Amino acid sequence: MTQLTVDLGARSYPIRIGSGLINKAEEFTSIIKTKRVVVITNDTVKPIYLDTLLTSLADFDVSAFSLPDGEQYKTLDSFEKVNAYLLENNCGRDTTLVALGGGVIGDLVGFVAACYQRGVPFVQVPTTLLSQVDSSVGGKTAVNHPLGKNMIGAFKQPEAVVIDVDTLNTLPAREFAAGISEVLKYGLICDKAFWKSLIENQQQIKALEQSFLIDIIYKCCAIKADVVAQDEQERGVRALLNLGHTFGHAIEAEMGYGVWLHGEAVATGMVLAAKTSLNRGYISQADYDEIKQTIAAYDLPVDKPEEMDCSAFIKHMMRDKKVQNNVMRFILPSELGQSQLYADVTQQELEQVLDA
């Protein structure tokens, strides 16, 4: 087991990464301070990992609640159902919630934890690569709205993040690829050497070689922990973590949540952002080709939906959380391994990228 810390003063918390952590009671008795625990999971993860986790939580007064699986269930309706379960079972503020699942469960449970009785502690136990390298860390919690992704939520930091890499052995290949999209993002925004290592070690990573998985998860979490410590509520540098997301969220909202996985939409969004950078002269044709080819090599889509033109993107992008004073702002790669925020991308430029 390896560990790092998200440094937020009194609200700092550990990220623990290793093999078999769900099986180890001490991983939870050392971080959960309440007697009562409620595990929230989904119907896909439940039959695989819930019993194991409940055994590890046997020293607590523990119960569990399960929701249907999928991005389409990351809604206020699901939020209400979890709150209803907690109320019906007389759960008080002395209850810790445990999010067992991917990004949907982690985001939803975190939002419940922020709101239920004005706040209860929660622990993240992410079971997908995407949630392990990104969404479980940093305290951004939310549900989706038909008009926009992650538009209703709160900042709520967990008590700890417990990442068991063994859960990736049961992850469908498509979900694993979606997680790699966020891994590639970290290389593009701030670490060229990491980006190059993802190209060089592609076969080992796709083969789920454990040492490589632990290394890349640790690297991504370390980058995000550092950024969150600098800018917890996304007032500045944390926005860089949204490379590809402005385009990607538009795809998810337009196509229907769950039709494109989040990581798939972000992958295409990074290619579109790179194309914008290429057109601006920030990156070379060779850099753009490398970005596109690397993303494709990890079995991710690189072309936008044919049915989406520029206007379809803009109607969603105007609701993006980075919009200020009615001006869209984009994270674009300024070179391989470096990205910046730009507030001067014109509609004509977007049309050249999206209607080409």
User: Per residue in 119-166, pLDDT tens?
Assistant: 999 999 999 999 999 999 999 999 999 988 999 999 999 999 999 999
pLDDT tens across 173-196, in order?
999 999 999 999 999 999 999 999
155 and 202 inside one domain: no
The answer as to whether 179 is a domain residue is no
215 and 154 inside one domain: no
- Which one of the listed residues 159, 175, 182, 252 is annotated catalytic? 182
pLDDT of residue 235: 85
Q: How many domains does the chain have?
A: 2
pLDDT of residue 12: 96
Whether 36 is catalytic: no
DSSP string covering 189-211:
HH-HHHHHHHHHTHHHHHTT-HH
- Which one of the listed residues 159, 234, 252, 264 is annotated catalytic? 234
CA distance 185 to 130: 11
The answer as to whether 211 is a domain residue is yes
Whether 145 is catalytic: no
- Which one of the listed residues 36, 74, 219, 262 is annotated catalytic? 262
Nearest alpha carbon to residue 70 among 39, 45, 97? 45
Domain stops at, among 112, 140, 170: 170
Nearest alpha carbon to residue 295 among 330, 276, 271? 271
pLDDT of residue 36: 98
228 and 333 inside one domain: yes
- Would you place residue 321 in the very low, low, confident or very high pLDDT band (cuts 50, 70, 90)? confident
DSSP string covering 291-350:
HHHHHHHTT---S--TT--HHHHHHHHTT-TT-BTTB--EEEEEETTEEEEES---HHHH
Percent of the chain's residues with pLDDT above 70: 100
- Which one of the listed residues 175, 219, 242, 275 is annotated catalytic? 242
Q: Nearest 5°: phi and psi at 137? A: -110, 130
Q: Is the pLDDT of residue 279 over 80?
A: yes
The answer as to whether 337 is a domain residue is yes
135 and 196 inside one domain: no
Q: CA-CA-CA-CA torsion for 146, 81, 138, 266, nearest 10 degrees?
A: -30
Structure tokens at 120: 């209860």
Task: Answer whether 269's CB lies under 8 Å from 247's CB.
Answer: yes
Whether 262 is catalytic: yes
8 and 85 inside one domain: yes
The answer as to whether 181 is a domain residue is no
Whether 11 is catalytic: no
- Which one of the listed residues 16, 140, 292, 329 is annotated catalytic? 140
Q: What number is the average pLDDT over the span 276-282? A: 97
Eight-state DSSP code of residue 168: G
Whether 316 is catalytic: no
102 and 194 inside one domain: no
CATH of the domain at 61: 3.40.50.1970
pTM above 0.85, yes or no: yes
pLDDT of residue 1: 87
Domain assignment of residue 263, given as a range: 188-354
Whether 315 is catalytic: no
118 and 197 inside one domain: no
